[in-house]
Every structure is written in structure tokens, then in C-alpha cells.
């Protein structure tokens, strides 16, 4: 590098860094303090974790004692059992879903209480009791058994689950009947289900009860959060993606929806709801995959407001905010938010990267291509190497413009352009030369071209070498971007 | 020498013993989270200036910088020091900026706002020589990718190996791009003077 260049570098610094202000000291100190608070919280949790557990255990015991004294042992025991996934007559099970809270309806002296609905991967167990404190015939289990008839569970979409087995017993000297009914497992994303049964009243009339049972996850984490809305149904397809409404608000007469997308696949780095495949004219709202339909079936136009896809892939969560483009008072509730698809950027660990081997069939002539049919299949991706072309120019060279320079660096002398076919939902594939894992040269710098930017159905990747590579070249797929079709739908309602 | 492997498995950068001090700070921070402050002090100015050069508004730059360091701090226990810390940090920064710009696009803010803010800030804070001002304008006319290269090199003051890791390019390719860009800018600047 000569002196002129060095001098020019100084000018470049002056024109860039020199025109950029330093951070305000107040801001630097404030952020440092904030980080310190984060650290303190983290350290605190580790340092006092054991002590906290001991204290929490003591507090729990004390709480149980107080509750037993106030409420009586049987109710407290039932509540604890419910929280711990214990089902009378079944034992402790690992629940995927449990009833949010018991539900009671009364008809005259008779009350029906659904104590629990526990959904595991193998079954759904419903526990309910019937109480008739003044019943003189209550000592006969048959009379209670005949009180409820034809019970079943009905999903919001109308799907019915008929009982598989049932059992019951008399309690409280015949004034209470507790029954347990087993069903097939409900879908793990179920947020509510109806318990439907016919109830024979002492008056002789027959009434059909339909109790909506709200479910929460077995670990007691909420299916949805927020104070002023009710999420009554969540359809999740496919299983590894969960879309939920984290909150709803009204700002300047517009509906604001906070949507969270959670995923399980550790290879997914980024999830977006923007529709990259649809070009967005400058100044127009960004195309996205979400839509809202109100109770009348009218489409509510919404815009993607802000998006906070996690910067850390380990969080496996993305956060989006949508804003209605029409006043909230023109929207009929309940409304339904639908996410038709998501855009996923995926990264494959080295051990999972599918590879294919390329060996030239003919002489390597720049500008010529070889048509191939090699398929690569892994758990995550299926792609076919359709064509390999030998490049005689360096696409990267054009990036820096014309001119000579860079004497100490040799320009790439050799290039391969790979064309791959893959399912249409895959929009970009990142291909690497495995030789680069063990040696810097000869191995390829690489660049991939997204499907929507290309002019054909094939995905491409370009690999540039300083010298002709050692044949065969073994390529691997390091990651890919794809569109995962939904839809995911969430029905929601404003309570006030 | 340590090799840095990109998404496709390609070695895009290498680092030498010059990074020993940063390595030491990272090890300390991994043992004691309190020591993350040392990394913060090392990078705060460069990250802020890099962000400011992208958004041109102090408040936005501070918000984004805060988010970058908070995200980095939260993710740091899972950070594996196999590569270059700065590349990891600036990847977070670029992701945050990407989100910021997407949000900005939605809000339909005047696209010139950030640019104007940048100009205003520059003029307020630095008494620029005419040549520097012309060079500054020239840089703003460059394609986005070339502007980014200049920011990473001269504002964030990153090494070629670090830039290569961030851009998923090989180190020699980054060097070549930058040298050619310098030459082109020099020629353009001379044309302006003539």
C-alpha cells in the first residue's frame, strides 16, 4: 500500500468517522448501568437460587397449612392435585393441557362442577362431580349416574370426542357423585373445548348443558396473555410453529395486535412474516402474510408495524406488531387473525449438512456447462443439482468497480456456478465447498442467489477459486431460506 | 491462526495474536458476567458510531445501540468464542438495523430524514474541509454494499478479517473490494476538483 493510499485512507476516515458524533457520555453511562442491572439480576438468580428454593418451599408449606385451616383439607388437596396433574383414579400424569380453572353450573339444588380436564399425549381425562345436598336418594349411585347422559367433548370447529371409558363413585355420604371420563387426546394446541351433557333435573326436565372449558398448558404457562382480549381458538399448523396473540390494544382508534411466533426447530434462525416474494413499491406498506377478518367476514386491512425478530436464534421467537388501517369501531368482533405463511431462514449444523460430489465429466472450459442430476436429501431439505457451469469472470470484481490495484491479491481464476432445483417453497440455498473446512486454498468463496431475484426456477450459487480446485469438489448445503405455509388463525375479541 | 467458517462452511476470515487482548476479555466475561463491561467499553463507541452512520438520528442511534448491547449481553452466555467477537456483535447490530429500517419503511417516514439528520449532525459537529465534504457526499452516492464496507472499515474500525466474517466473504476478497473502491473514489474526487 503506497503513501497516497494511506493519505486517502485518512481522508476517508475524516469523511466518515470524522462526521459521526461520539455517543453522549450520559447515554454510555446509562446503558452501562442498565447492563449492570441485567447482570445483577442474573447473578442474583444464580447466587440465591438455592436459598430461594428453600424459602419458596417453606412458604409453600406455610401456605398449604393456612389454606387447609381456612378451606378444609379436601378442597386444598384437590387444588394441589389439579395443579400437579394428578387425576383421581388415574394418578399423576404428564399433562400437555389442563383445565384453567374448575367450572360450576347450578340448576336448583343440583350443581355440576368440572374439576379438571387433563390432556396428555395418550388420552384426555375429564373429572366432574354432581352435588345434590338435599338428595334423599343420593345414596344410590344409579340415580346420579342417570343425572348426566350422553356426555361428550366438542371442539370449537365442531369436532366431537365421544367417551371411551368412564367410572364414578359416591362421596360425602351419597350427596356427591364424582365421575371420570376418558377421551382420545385433544390436539395439544387446544385452548378451549365444550363439555356437553344432558342433565336430568329433579323436576323431570332434561336440559342440555354446554360448558366451555378453557385450557392452559400443562406447565401452567398461558396459551395467550393480555388483559383486554380473549383468545378463544388457536389453530396451529404445522406443529413446530406456534402463533399467538401476546396482546391487543387500541391506539388512535386503530387496532394494534402483538403477535408472537414461537418455533421449536433449533436450526431456524430467523422467522419473518414479510412476504419477500411480493415486490413492494417504494413508499408502499410492506407486503406480509397476515390478514384479519371480522365477524361479518369483512377483510380488515392491516399493516405490519414493527417487527422484532429475535437477534439471538436461541430464543426461537419472533415478535410482530400489526395495525389496522381502519377504525376499530368499524370492526365487528370476534375477529380472526390469520397468518398464511412465514418466511424462515434456516441453518444446518455441519453434521446435518447434505453433500454432493462434483467431478467434471469433460474438459473444464470457461462458459460451458454440465447438466447433472444429483439429488441431495436430508431430514430438512431435498434438492437436485441440475447444472454446473464454469465461469470465466468474477462477479465480485464488478462490485468494486473498474481499475487495477490490489496487486498483492490474485483475482479468482476459476469459478463454478451451481444451479439447483428444490421445492418451490425454498427461496434460497446456501452452498459451501467442504474443502474450506480444512484448508483455505483451493477452496471457494461463495455467493447464493435467492429464487425471487433470479430469472429462472433454479436456485444458484457461485463459487470462486484462486486456482483450479482439486477434483472432485464436495459441496454441502449449509442452510436455506424457505416459506412455510400455514395458515395459523387466532380468533380474538375485545371485551370492552 | 484461527479460521472463521461461514454459513456455507467456507473460511471467510482468520485472526491472529493481535486479538489476544479481546480474547482475554471474553474469557473473563464468560467466567464473570460483570466483566462484560470491559467488552462494552471496548466496543460502545464504535458500535454507536456505526449505528449513527446508518440512521443519522441521535435518539434512534441510542435506542438501537442499547438494544444491541442488551441483546448481546443476554446472548453472551451462549456465545462460543470460536470466531470473532466483533463479527458476532456487529451481526447483532446489523440485524437490529435491518429491523429498524423495515419498521421505518412501514411508517413511511421521509426517506430523506435520516440522511438530512446525518448531514445536520455532521455539519454541526465537525468543521469539514471542502474536500472531506465532497468525499462524504461521494460516499453517500455509493451502492449500499460499498457504503457498508466503508462504515465497517472506517467507522467501526474493524479489521479485514472481522469484516470478512460479518459479510460472509473471504478476507482477501474484502481487501480487494476496499482497495478498488478507494481507487475509484480517488479518481472521482479528482474529477470533481478538475
Return left, alpha or beta for B56; rule: phi > 0 is left, psi -120 to 50 is alpha, else beta: left
Mutation target vs B (from A3, A7, A13, A21; most B CBs, 10 A cutoff): A21
**Which pLDDT belongs to residue A44?**
38
Residue A143 inside a domain? The answer is yes
- Cβ A286–B105 below 8 Å, yes or no? yes
As for how many domains chain A has, the answer is 4
The answer to whether residue A172 scores a pLDDT higher than 80 is: no
Let me know whether A313 and A384 are in one domain.
Answer: no
What does the alpha-carbon distance between residue B104 and residue B82 come to, in Å, rounded to a whole number? 34
Let me know whether A114 and A260 are in one domain.
Answer: no
Please tell me which residue of chain B has the smallest CA distance to A312: B75
**Which pLDDT belongs to residue A338?**
92
The CATH number of whichever domain residue B167 belongs to comes to: 1.10.1740.10
Which candidate, B131, B99, B81, places its Cα nearest to that of A18? B131
Which whole-number Å values give the CA distances from A198 to A149, A195, A207, A340, A363, in the listed order? 5, 10, 6, 39, 82
Let me know whether A273 and A285 are in one domain.
Answer: yes
The answer to whether residue A273 scores a pLDDT higher than 80 is: yes
A56 inside 8 A of chain B by CB: no
- Cβ B78–A285 below 8 Å, yes or no? no
Mean pLDDT for all residues in chain A: 72
Share of chain A above pLDDT 90, in %: 5
Let me know whether A264 and A367 are in one domain.
Answer: no
Grid cell, residue A390, equals 464454469
- Cβ B122–A19 below 8 Å, yes or no? yes
Mutation target vs A (from B1, B5, B10; most A CBs, 10 A cutoff): B10
Share of chain A above pLDDT 70, in %: 65
**Which pLDDT belongs to residue A404?**
28
- Cβ A286–B102 below 8 Å, yes or no? yes
Let me know whether A201 and A290 are in one domain.
Answer: no
Domain boundary among A217, A252, A284: A217
Grid cell, residue B137, equals 457526499
Per-residue exposure over A289-325, b if at least 16 CB sit within 10 Å of its own CB, e if not: bbbbbbeeeeebebbbbbbbbbbbbeebbbbbbbbbe
Q: Which domain holds residue B31?
A: 2-193
Residue A428 inside a domain? The answer is yes
Grid cell, residue B168, equals 460472509
Q: How confident is the model at residue A77 (pLDDT cuts 50, 70, 90)?
A: low
Per-residue exposure over A384-418, b if at least 16 CB sit within 10 Å of its own CB, e if not: bbbbbbbbeebebbebbbeeebbeebeebebbbbb
φ and ψ of A185, to 5 deg:
-65, 135
Among the partner-chain residues B8, B106, B183, the one whose CB lies closest to the CB of A304 is: B106
Helix (H, G, I), strand (E, B) or coil at A346: strand
Residue A18 inside a domain? The answer is no
- Cβ B146–A431 below 8 Å, yes or no? no
Strands (E), B19-106: none
Let me know whether A200 and A247 are in one domain.
Answer: no
A312 inside 8 A of chain B by CB: yes
Cis peptide before A168 (omega within 30 of 0): no
Output A413 or A162, whichever has higher pLDDT.
A162
Mutation target vs A (from B3, B5, B6, B9; most A CBs, 10 A cutoff): B9
The CATH number of whichever domain residue A300 belongs to comes to: 2.60.40
CA torsion through residues A85, A86, A90, A91, sign: positive
Mutation target vs B (from A1, A5, A11, A19; most B CBs, 10 A cutoff): A19
In degrees to the nearest 10, what's the CA dihedral of A349, A350, A356, A357? 160
Which candidate, B175, B41, B116, B90, places its Cα nearest to that of A405? B175
Q: How far A38 CA sits from the closest chain B CA (Å)? A: 8
Let me know whether A355 and A414 are in one domain.
Answer: yes
**Which pLDDT belongs to residue A275?**
73
φ and ψ of A160, to 5 deg:
-110, 135
In degrees to the nearest 10, what's the CA dihedral of A323, A325, A326, A332? -50
Which candidate, B63, B22, B18, places its Cα nearest to that of B39? B22
Residue A11 near residue B135, CB atoms below 8 Å: yes
Q: How far B11 CA sits from the closest chain A CA (Å)? A: 6
**Which pLDDT belongs to residue B43?**
92
- Cβ B9–A404 below 8 Å, yes or no? no
Residue A322 inside a domain? The answer is yes
Output A19 or A6, whichever has higher pLDDT.
A19
Q: Based on DSSP, count helices (H) and strands (E) in chain B, helices before strands.
A: 9, 2
Q: How far B16 CA sits from the closest chain A CA (Å)? A: 15
pLDDT in tens, A439-493: 655 667 666 666 655 556 788 887 777 677 877 888 888 888 888 888 899 999 8
Could you please report the per-residue DSSP string of A243-282? Answer: EEEEEEEEETTEEEEEEEEEE--TTEEEEE-B-TTS---T
φ and ψ of B184, to 5 deg:
-65, -40
Among the partner-chain residues A9, A43, A409, the one whose CB lies closest to the CB of B172 is: A409
Residue A482 near residue A371, CB atoms below 8 Å: no
Please tell me which residue of chain B has the smallest CA distance to A474: B9
Grid cell, residue A447, equals 455467493
Which residues of chain A lie closer than 8 angstroms to B108, CB-CB? 283, 285
Distance linking the first and last C-alpha atoms of chain B: 46
CA torsion through residues B155, B160, B165, B171, sign: positive
Residue A63 inside a domain? The answer is yes
Q: How far A300 CA sits from the closest chain B CA (Å)? A: 17
- Cβ A400–B184 below 8 Å, yes or no? yes
Q: How far A390 CA sits from the closest chain B CA (Å)? A: 19
Q: State mean pLDDT over A287-294.
A: 89
- Cβ A19–B135 below 8 Å, yes or no? no
Grid cell, residue A275, equals 412476504
Among the partner-chain residues A38, A443, A478, the one whose CB lies closest to the CB of B11 is: A443
Let me know whether A164 and A241 are in one domain.
Answer: no
Which residues of chain A lie closer than 8 angstroms to B52, CB-CB? 20-21, 23
What does the alpha-carbon distance between residue A360 and residue A174 come to, in Å, rounded to a whole number? 86
As for how many domains chain B has, the answer is 1
Q: How confident is the model at residue A76 (pLDDT cuts 50, 70, 90)?
A: low
What does the alpha-carbon distance between residue A257 and residue A322 come to, in Å, rounded to a whole number? 5
Q: Which domain holds residue A283?
A: 229-348+485-494
Mutation target vs B (from A6, A15, A430; most B CBs, 10 A cutoff): A15
What does the alpha-carbon distance between residue B165 and residue A228 come to, in Å, rounded to a whole number? 46
Which residues of chain B lie closer than 8 angstroms to A38, CB-CB? 70, 73-74
The answer to whether residue A2 scores a pLDDT higher than 60 is: no
| ipTM for the whole complex | 0.76
pLDDT in tens, A413-426: 677 888 888 888 88
Q: State mean pLDDT over A366-391.
A: 78
What does the alpha-carbon distance between residue B18 and residue B16 come to, in Å, rounded to a whole number? 5
A244 Cβ neighbours under 8 A, 6+ residues apart: A223, A224, A231, A234, A259, A260, A262, A490
Let me know whether A364 and A474 are in one domain.
Answer: yes
What does the alpha-carbon distance between residue A493 and residue A231 come to, in Å, rounded to a whole number? 7
Q: Could you tell me how many CB contacts below 8 A there are between chain A and chain B?
A: 232
- Cβ A409–B176 below 8 Å, yes or no? yes
What does the alpha-carbon distance between residue A247 and residue A270 come to, in Å, rounded to a whole number? 22
**Which pLDDT belongs to residue A133?**
62
What does the alpha-carbon distance between residue A98 and residue A77 come to, in Å, rounded to a whole number? 17
Could you please report the per-residue DSSP string of A362-425? Answer: S---TT-EEEEEEEEE-SS-EEEEEEEEEESS-GGGGGG-S----TTSPPP-EEEEEEEE--TT
Cis peptide before A149 (omega within 30 of 0): no
Which residues of chain A lie closer than 8 angstroms to B145, CB-CB? 399
Residue A372 near residue A388, CB atoms below 8 Å: yes
Which residues of chain B lie closer than 8 angstroms to A37, CB-CB? none
**Which pLDDT belongs to residue A339?**
92
Domain boundary among A71, A104, A129: A71
Residue A453 inside a domain? The answer is yes
Grid cell, residue A52, equals 430461594
Please tell me which residue of chain A has the smallest CA distance to B187: A403
Highest mean pLDDT among A86-90, A229-233, A482-486 belongs to A482-486
Highest mean pLDDT among A39-43, A163-167, A192-196, A220-224 belongs to A192-196
A351 inside 8 A of chain B by CB: no
Q: State mean pLDDT over A384-400.
A: 60
Let me know whether A356 and A208 are in one domain.
Answer: no
Mutation target vs B (from A311, A383, A435; most B CBs, 10 A cutoff): A311
Residue A404 inside a domain? The answer is yes
Burial classification of residue A326, based on how many CB atoms lie within 10 Å of its CB (0-12 exposed, 13-18 middle, 19 or more buried): middle
- Cβ A400–B177 below 8 Å, yes or no? yes
Grid cell, residue A356, equals 454432493
**Which pLDDT belongs to residue A53?**
45
Residue A50 inside a domain? The answer is yes
Let me know whether A275 and A190 are in one domain.
Answer: no
The answer to whether residue A210 scores a pLDDT higher than 80 is: yes
Let me know whether A334 and A383 are in one domain.
Answer: no
Which residues of chain A lie closer than 8 angstroms to B187, CB-CB? 403
User: How confident is the prediction along chain B (194 residues), in pLDDT tens digits per residue?
Assistant: 333 333 333 333 334 444 677 788 888 888 887 788 888 998 999 999 999 988 888 888 888 899 899 888 887 877 776 657 888 888 888 878 876 765 553 333 333 333 444 444 444 333 446 777 788 888 877 777 788 889 999 998 888 888 887 877 777 788 888 888 888 888 787 765 44
Among the partner-chain residues B10, B175, B186, the one whose CB lies closest to the CB of A433 is: B10
Amino acid at each position: 500500500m503506497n503513501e497516497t493510499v494511506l493519505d486517502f485512507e485518512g481522508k476517508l476516515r475524516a469523511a466518515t468517522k470524522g462526521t459521526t458524533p461520539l455517543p453522549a457520555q450520559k447515554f454510555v453511562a446509562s446503558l452501562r448501568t442498565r447492563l449492570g442491572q441485567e447482570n445483577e439480576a442474573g447473578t442474583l438468580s444464580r447466587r440465591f437460587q438455592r436459598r430461594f428454593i428453600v424459602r419458596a418451599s417453606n412458604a409453600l408449606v406455610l401456605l398449604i397449612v393456612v389454606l387447609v385451616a381456612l378451606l378444609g383439607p379436601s378442597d386444598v388437596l384437590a387444588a394441589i392435585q389439579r395443579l400437579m396433574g394428578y387425576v383421581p383414579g388415574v394418578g399423576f400424569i404428564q399433562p400437555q393441557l389442563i383445565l384453567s380453572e374448575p367450572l360450576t353450573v347450578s340448576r336448583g339444588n343440583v350443581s355440576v362442577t368440572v374439576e379438571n380436564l387433563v390432556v396428555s399425549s395418550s388420552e384426555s381425562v375429564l373429572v366432574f362431580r354432581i352435588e345434590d345436598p338435599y338428595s334423599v336418594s343420593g345414596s344410590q349411585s344409579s340415580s346420579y349416574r342417570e343425572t348426566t347422559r350422553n356426555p361428550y367433548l366438542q371442539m370449537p370447529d365442531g369436532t366431537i370426542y365421544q367417551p371411551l371409558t368412564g367410572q364414578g363413585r359416591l362421596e360425602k355420604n351419597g350427596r356427591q357423585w364424582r365421575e371420570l371420563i376418558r377421551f382420545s387426546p385433544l390436539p395439544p394446541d387446544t385452548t378451549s373445548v365444550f363439555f356437553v351433557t344432558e342433565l336430568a333435573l329433579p323436576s323431570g326436565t332434561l336440559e342440555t348443558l354446554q360448558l366451555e372449558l378453557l385450557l392452559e398448558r400443562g406447565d401452567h404457562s398461558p396459551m395467550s396473555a393480555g388483559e383486554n382480549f380473549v383468545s378463544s381458538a388457536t389453530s396451529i399448523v404445522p406443529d413446530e410453529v406456534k402463533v399467538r396473540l401476546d396482546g391487543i390494544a387500541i391506539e388512535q382508534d386503530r387496532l394494534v395486535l402483538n403477535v408472537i411466533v414461537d418455533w421449536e426447530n433449533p436450526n431456524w434462525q430467523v422467522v419473518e412474516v414479510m412476504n419477500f416474494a411480493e415486490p413492494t413499491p417504494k413508499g408502499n406498506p410492506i407486503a406480509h402474510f397476515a390478514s384479519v377478518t371480522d365477524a361479518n367476514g369483512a377483510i380488515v386491512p392491516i399493516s405490519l408495524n414493527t417487527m422484532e425478530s429475535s437477534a439471538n436464534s436461541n430464543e426461537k421467537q419472533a415478535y410482530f406488531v400489526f395495525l389496522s388501517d381502519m377504525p376499530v369501531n368499524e370492526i365487528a368482533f370476534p375477529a380472526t387473525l390469520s397468518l398464511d405463511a412465514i418466511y424462515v431462514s434456516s441453518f444446518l449444523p455441519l453434521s446435518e449438512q447434505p453433500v454432493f460430489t462434483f467431478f467434471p465429466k469433460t474438459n473444464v472450459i470457461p462458459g460451458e456447462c454440465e447438466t447433472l442430476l444429483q439429488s441431495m436429501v436430508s431430514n430438512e431439505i431435498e434438492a437436485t443439482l441440475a447444472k454446473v457451469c464454469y465461469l470465466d469472470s468474477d462477479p465480485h470484481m464488478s462490485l468494486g468497480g473498474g481499475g487495477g490495484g490490489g496487486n498483492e491479491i490474485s483475482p479468482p481464476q476459476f469459478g463454478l456456478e451451481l444451479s439447483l432445483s428444490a421445492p418451490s417453497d425454498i427461496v434460497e440455498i446456501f452452498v459451501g465447498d467442504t474443502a474450506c473446512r480444512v484448508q483455505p486454498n483451493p477452496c471457494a468463496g461463495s455467493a447464493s442467489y435467492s429464487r425471487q431475484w433470479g430469472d429462472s426456477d433454479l436456485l444458484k450459487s457461485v463459487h470462486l477459486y484462486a486456482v483450479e480446485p482439486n477434483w472432485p469438489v464436495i459441496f454441502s448445503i449449509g442452510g436455506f431460506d424457505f416459506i412455510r405455509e400455514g395458515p395459523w388463525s387466532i380468533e380474538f375479541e375485545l371485551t370492552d | 491462526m484461527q479460521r472463521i467458517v461461514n454459513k456455507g462452511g467456507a473460511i471467510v476470515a482468520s485472526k491472529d495474536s493481535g486479538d489476544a487482548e479481546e480474547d482475554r476479555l471474553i474469557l473473563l466475561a464468560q467466567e464473570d458476567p460483570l466483566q462484560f463491561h470491559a467488552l462494552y467499553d471496548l466496543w460502545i463507541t464504535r458500535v454507536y458510531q456505526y449505528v449513527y452512520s446508518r440512521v443519522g438520528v441521535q435518539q434512534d442511534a441510542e435506542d438501537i445501540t442499547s438494544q444491541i448491547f442488551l441483546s448481546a449481553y443476554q446472548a453472551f452466555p451462549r456465545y462460543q468464542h470460536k470466531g470473532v467477537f466483533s463479527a458476532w456483535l456487529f451481526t447483532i447490530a446489523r440485524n437490529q438495523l435491518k429491523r429498524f429500517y423495515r419498521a421505518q419503511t412501514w411508517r413511511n417516514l421521509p426517506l430523506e430524514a435520516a440522511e438530512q439528520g446525518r448531514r445536520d449532525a455532521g455539519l454541526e459537529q465537525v468543521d469539514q474541509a471542502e474536500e472531506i465534504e465532497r468525499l462524504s457526499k461521494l460516499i453517500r452516492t455509493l451502492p449500499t454494499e460499498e457504503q457498508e464496507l466503508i462504515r465497517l472499515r472506517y467507522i467501526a474500525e474493524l479489521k479485514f478479517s472481522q469484516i470478512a466474517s460479518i459479510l460472509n466473504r473471504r478476507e482477501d476478497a474484502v481487501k480487494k473490494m476496499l482497495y478498488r473502491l478507494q481507487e475509484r473514489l480517488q479518481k472521482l474526487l479528482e474529477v470533481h476538483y478538475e
